Amino acid sequence: MRAKTLRIEMKNYGEFLGRGRGCFYIRSKEKKITEYDFFAKPMKEVILRDGNCVSVDVLRDLSLWNIDTFIMSRYNTIMGFLVNPNSNSHVKTRLCQYKTYLDKEKATEIMKTFFKTRIETQNMVLKKSKFPQLPTVLP
């Protein structure tokens, strides 16, 4: 049986996300407190919005435990996210991108594959809609 994951989303203006003993809590403008025990369930993500306040202790813990933290506008667009500085997966990706950039043959091969796949996907849509298809031969 899979354990359910915990997701905290701050939806209302004026909410405060704080840290207590073994839990995070949200305090609303009406002083109502909702607690989230982070040892009972694994935490998946936290979504912060415009008009919310967050304790620095909470931000530190979210970063330390690699919990996905998104900062969103009131129009549901992601404005930023919190990343643990020890999580260097983005560095590995960037290094692979630079290596590919320096190797022109590999870069050309990747681009040909990308375009060929794109054309094949478009052809499937055209075939389904009974339109003439594009040629898939690339030099």
Beta strands in the chain (DSSP E): 6-9, 16-20, 23-27, 33-37, 43-49, 53-54, 68-72, 78-82
Q: Cβ(29)–Cβ(12) under 8 Å?
A: yes
Can you tell me whether residue 112 is helix, strand or coil? helix
Second-level CATH architecture of 6-82 = Ribosomal Protein L15; Chain: K; domain 2 (3.100)
Q: What is the pLDDT of residue 54?
A: 94
Q: What is the pLDDT of residue 138?
A: 58
Tokens 């620095």 map to which residue? 56
Q: What are 39-54's pLDDT values in tens digits?
A: 778 888 899 998 899 9
Q: Cβ(13)–Cβ(24) under 8 Å?
A: no
Q: What are 75-124's pLDDT values in tens digits?
A: 888 898 887 777 666 677 778 878 888 888 888 888 888 888 888 888 88
- Other beta carbons within 10 Å of 48: 24
Does the pLDDT at position 2 exceed 80? no
Domain ranges within the chain, ordered by starting residue: 6-82, 89-128
- Other beta carbons within 10 Å of 81: 12
Distance from C-alpha of 120 to C-alpha of 98, rounded to nearest angstrom: 28
Distance from C-alpha of 123 to C-alpha of 44, rounded to nearest angstrom: 39
- pTM for the whole thing? 0.57
Tell me phi and psi for residue 108, to 5 degrees: -65, -40
Q: What is the pLDDT of residue 56?
A: 93
Q: In sequence order, what are the beta bridge partners of 16?
A: 27, 53
Q: What are 9-49's pLDDT values in tens digits?
A: 888 889 999 998 888 899 999 999 988 887 778 888 899 99
Residue 58 pLDDT class (50, 70, 90 cuts): very high
